[in-house]
Amino acid sequence: MDDSRRQVAAWAEQYLRGDLSFEGFMNLMPEDPTDATVAELVDLVEHEPKRGGVLGASAAEHDKHVRRIRDLITVPRSS
């Protein structure tokens, strides 16, 4: 995993832990990432569904989405 992916993964992990706000995460991201893995990770965070409620995702759906984010954070990808 290259340095930019590592940094984005670290910020995504901070976001998932609640140590970094959504706005803070998005402000750190490149506007048009050229790395497909970074772009996918940003897209997943950006479109994380609301959990529960009338229009929100079920707990299982939300957990599945978060697992996809975690997979991109933890699985090294080739450049």
- Domain ranges, ordered by start, for the chain: 3-74
Q: Tell me the C-alpha distance between 20 and 9, whole Å.
A: 12
Instruction: Give pTM, 2 decimals.
Output: 0.79
**Residue 69 contacts residue 41 (beta carbons within 8 Å):** yes
pLDDT at residue 44 tops 80: yes
Q: Averaged over 36-47, what is the pLDDT?
A: 92
Q: Which residue has the higher pLDDT, 69 or 75?
A: 69
Q: Tell me the C-alpha distance between 28 and 51, whole Å.
A: 24
Q: Tell me the residue type at 9.
A: A
